């Protein structure tokens, strides 16, 4: 009697094990099911959640294309907001599969996460009020009120290298900085020119702001993923190469930045490889 019960238990265990294997397997690598992708929700032209709940922008288009190449339809994507200061944590915790959120590749971040790409080259610039003629170069920011977001490389670049006497104010999102700029609570907003162009091109902001036109840094946007995941890194790089070669990259750039007359750089060479 005991032998029969034991044999039955083993058989049941084997059936369950096989069933779980069939359901799970390596679906993460081959698509299927849902995929969580991190983007920005507050960057017009780059990554934006609209009032009606849609997600638009260059990073959104790129991430959707990459996800499709990984085997996921657009309806399978769960978009997650990833503030600058939380990107590495969300990747490490497995909250997202990958992040496409104006995520500049640098050595400090590469200690914590891996990158695929880059897929875009932006430059740090300044956004000021349209009638402001006092800010023409980085040193003009000394003793001025400068706004950026917590965790951004742009803010530290200005404070440490370009205008150490600037009064830096860090906010949770760029929209707060923009409100401060419009209300004259701050004198300039600094981040990548692609993001600034997206804000300036919005209908409600047209004519209010202008880019100073400085190229203060090179910002290579990469897709962030779990450190050491060379399989996913390689798959994403293949998708990015295909996106460039089939004309989709150029199409996405024109659709999202064209209205701002933004002069973008050509698609960069992919350098982040395992």
Asked if residue 149 has pLDDT above 50, the reply is yes
Give the domain ranges of the chain: 30-121+220-260, 123-211
User: Does domain 123-211 fall into CATH 3.40.190.10?
Assistant: yes
As a dihedral over the C-alpha atoms of residue 93, residue 94, residue 97, residue 99, rounded to 10 degrees, the angle is -20
pTM for this one? 0.77
User: pLDDT tens across 114-139, in order?
Assistant: 999 999 999 999 999 999 999 999 99
CA distance 135 to 203: 24
- Same topology, domains 30-121+220-260 and 123-211? Answer is yes
Could you give the C-alpha distances from 43 to 101, 151, 202, 243, 247, in angstroms and in order? 9, 15, 11, 22, 24
Asked if residue 28 has pLDDT above 60, the reply is no
Residue 19: its pLDDT value, please?
41
**Burial bucket for residue 238 (CB in 10 Å: 0-12, 13-18, 19+):** middle
Tokens encoding 227: 């450190």
Q: Count of residues for the chain?
A: 274
Section 39-60 average pLDDT: 94
Architecture field, domain 30-121+220-260: 3-Layer(aba) Sandwich (3.40)
User: pLDDT tens across 153-168, in order?
Assistant: 787 888 888 899 999 9
Residue 262: pLDDT band (50, 70, 90) is confident
Residue 31: its pLDDT value, please?
58
Residue 260: its pLDDT value, please?
67
Between the two ends of the chain, the Cα-to-Cα distance in Å is: 56
């Amino acid at each position: 009697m005991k032998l029969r019960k034991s044999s039955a238990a083993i058989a049941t265990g084997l059936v369950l094990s096989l069933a779980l294997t069939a359901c799970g397997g390596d679906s993460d690598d081959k698509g299927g099911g849902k995929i969580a992708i991190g983007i920005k929700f507050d960057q017009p032209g780059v990554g934006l959640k609209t009032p009606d709940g849609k997600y638009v922008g260059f990073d959104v288009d790129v991430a959707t294309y990459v996800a499709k190449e990984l085997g996921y339809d657009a309806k399978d994507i769960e978009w997650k907001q990833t503030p600058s200061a939380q990107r590495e944590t969300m990747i490490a915790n497995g909250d997202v599969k990958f992040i496409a959120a104006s995520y500049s590749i640098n050595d400090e971040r590469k200690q914590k996460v891996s990158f695929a790409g880059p897929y875009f080259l932006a430059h740090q610039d300044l956004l000021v009020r349209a009638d402001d003629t006092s800010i023409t170069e980085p040193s003009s920011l000394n003793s001025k009120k400068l706004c950026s977001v917590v965790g951004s490389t742009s803010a530290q670049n200005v404070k440490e290298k370009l205008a150490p006497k600037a009064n830096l104010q860090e906010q949770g999102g760029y929209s707060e900085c923009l409100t401060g700029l419009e209300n004259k609570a701050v004198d300039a907003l600094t981040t990548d020119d692609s993001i600034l162009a997206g804000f300036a091109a919005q209908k409600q902001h047209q004519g209010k702001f202008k880019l100073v036109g400085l190229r203060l840094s090179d910002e290579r946007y990469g897709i962030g993923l779990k450190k050491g995941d060379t399989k996913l890194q390689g798959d994403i790089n293949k998708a990015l190469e295909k996106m460039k070669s089939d004309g989709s990259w150029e199409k996405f750039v024109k659709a999202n930045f064209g209205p701002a007359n933004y002069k973008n750089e050509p698609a960069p060479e992919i350098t982040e490889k395992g």
